[in-house]
Chain A
Amino acid sequence: DIQMTQSPSTLSASVGDRVTITCRASQSLSGYLAWYQQKPGKAPKLLIYKASSLNSGVPSRFSGSESGTEFTLTINSLQPDDFATYYCQQYNSYSPYTFGQGTKLEIK
């Protein structure tokens, strides 16, 4: 199985801050890494696919990057609507399709 290690588990930040969330994969994903946003009581929403491609309708303050087996989600100029939990997911292999443990982004 491909293991995904996501950090930090909790992140406190203020409106206007720039934050970074990281996921490390146990093996190469060939870029097949997605980021999802989930708000309490709601379904996850696809933000980023193929490591760095922004899904339709997602604000441009969200971005993703890849360096080997390390993947990063960056949110520039945090908005009140961005406080949520974020998950990475590898979809390179149904070995299974694993999610990271999640990062809860809280208001400082």
Chain B
Amino acid sequence: AQTVTQSQPEMSVQEAETVTLSCTYDTSENNYYLFWYKQPPSRQMILVIRQEAYKQQNATENRFSVNFQKAAKSFSLKISDSQLGDTAMYFCAFMKQQGGSEKLVFGKGTKLTVNP
């Protein structure tokens, strides 16, 4: 079974600064996807960024980028130029790439607060 671990329950950052959220995972699969989701107080999960395990290049989406270390099974999220609207819970998630139900396995989350 796959597990996802987020070791930082809470983090805070000043507006316009950079913050990195950590995630490690455990799997015996070779082909999979990794994700970061944002969950604001409205509860709706929003996909922030996705990484395919077979790709060596780290994914980027505007101010969001990841540091994917496949051998170390590490997948951190860097948020640059933090904005007040980035305040939310952030969840790291895993999905097998082939076969099965494509169910997501989530970590426990990191609560990020961006301070003005």
A and B together in one complex: no
Q: B interface vs A, CB < 8 Å?
A: none
